[in-house]
Amino acid sequence: MSRRAFHEASQRVHDYGHLLARWRRIARGAGLKLRTLATVSGFPVCYLRSRGDLAGGFYVSAGIHGDEPAGPEALARWAETHLAALVRANTLPLFILPCLNPWGLTENRRTDRVGRDLNRLFDRKISPIRELRRAIADERFALGVALHEDYDGRGVYLYEIKESPPNLGADLLRACTSKAMPIDTRRRIEEFPFKNGLLRDRIPLESVTIRPEALALYPEHAPHFLTFETPSEFSLALRVRAHIRLLEACVRHLTRTRR
Ligand SMILES: [Zn+2]
């Protein structure tokens, strides 16, 4: 993408109508249909799934926090580049949620219209979570990824939860960092101990009272789940690139291990 095209696209990262139009094009190009999960505050919340069985596939979501636009933007750009070929190859089942909180994205707000942080309430029967959980009720993916951003972030970091080693986090962070986009080396992020951008210990899940997407889907629907964070104060171009590199590295890993 040229510098000018990038600039123009960047002006529109909170334009949900534009994002949806891109996803309709992406779906058409891959021979799939963009489906509506639910309509929330007047906005359709959509998903895309590959045909056939989703077992062992890749689940990826973005935009549950509307003030974190690099995730939805990167997911669309990644799909614009890779999705048609991936679907044609038919080697990796895919379930994609382009933007879980369109009202928030439009308003540049973390929460939904009534002030709820959806990523704290993933066990609740509220739209679009209830419909999403119904759509994946019988599915078990090999890997789930949620794309996020952090206003306090000083680089990229990753929450990785996995049933058993080996973990992927260090390799993934290596794939998406550069001199301009380093790893966040804080030793405490939120209330968790971190080392080199990764959770230092296994989270004692029973001690976590909130239910983010990761912990609601793990382990039943995704025995390996990544929550990826880029630093909101860095340039959008760098943040988007980091998300795209993470997605590319995940797909490389999954296609290698499915062979
Ligand atoms: Zn977030």
For residue range 54-85, list pLDDT tens digits in order: 999 999 999 999 999 999 999 999 999 999 99
Distance 117 CA to ligand 1 centre (A): 9
pTM of the model: 0.96
- Strand arrangement of the beta sheet that strand 224-231 belongs to: 35-40, 43-49, 94-97, 58-62, 143-150, 224-231, 157-162, 198-199, 192-195, 188-189
Distance 225 CA to ligand 1 centre (A): 15
Distance 149 CA to ligand 1 centre (A): 5
With contact defined as beta carbons under 8 Å apart, do 72 and 247 qualify? no
Give the model confidence (pLDDT) of 8-62 as tens digits: 666 799 999 999 999 999 999 999 999 999 999 999 999 999 999 999 999 999 9
Residues within 5 Å of ion ligand 1, judged at the Cβ atom: 65, 68, 148
Distance 169 CA to ligand 1 centre (A): 18
Distance 86 CA to ligand 1 centre (A): 27
Distance 90 CA to ligand 1 centre (A): 31
Q: What is the pLDDT of residue 191?
A: 85
Distance 232 CA to ligand 1 centre (A): 10
Distance 241 CA to ligand 1 centre (A): 17
Q: What is the pLDDT of residue 142?
A: 97
Domains and CATH numbers, the chain: 3-153+161-181+216-229+244-258 (3.40.630.10)
Distance 120 CA to ligand 1 centre (A): 10
Distance 224 CA to ligand 1 centre (A): 19
